[in-house]
Amino acid sequence: MIPIAAEVARDCPTMAAIGRTLGVRRHTVSDWIRKGEEPDAPEPFASFATAIHAAIAESEITLTRKLQNGDGRDAAWILTHSPFFRDEWSDAASERRAVQRAMAGVVTAIDGAGLTDDQRMRLLLGIQAQGIGVSAEGGE
């Protein structure tokens, strides 16, 4: 089962494709990977997660080579839409990282402003109420 799942992940890196091949739902695949990523994960979850991560890394290398060789329209779509890659490759991911960096600077400035805990909390909650991604604890 694990070698087949890894082969599918290499060729078609989606939870749905892996799940269809194994006869399970994509959420089950996600659960198996998550269980395998835990410290001291039991078998076969640990081996499954390791194999899928290795296959996904190989897939990403193959897709980026296609981009570099000018044969990348399909590769670009997969990199920007697959949950395995989109956090690194999509325009939205780049924008989220920029917002996170900016908000980290805002929180740092607020922390250095000498506000009381109550003032700080009210200010951060006010920022959050405006739809800006910052928690009252700070950060994203």
Degrees to nearest 5, angle at CA 107 with 131 and 125: 40
Report the percentage of the chain scoring pLDDT > 70: 92
Domain boundaries, the chain: 2-87, 92-129
pLDDT of residue 94: 67
Tokens (6 digits) for 71:
């044969």
Band of the pLDDT at 21, cuts 50, 70, 90? very high
Q: 91-111 and 117-129 helices cross at what angle (nearest 10)?
A: 160
Read off the pLDDT of residues 100-122 as tens digits, 9 standing for 90 and up: 788 888 888 888 898 898 998 88
Answer yes or no: is pLDDT of 134 > 60.
no
pLDDT at position 139: 44
- Kindly report the pTM of this predicted structure: 0.61
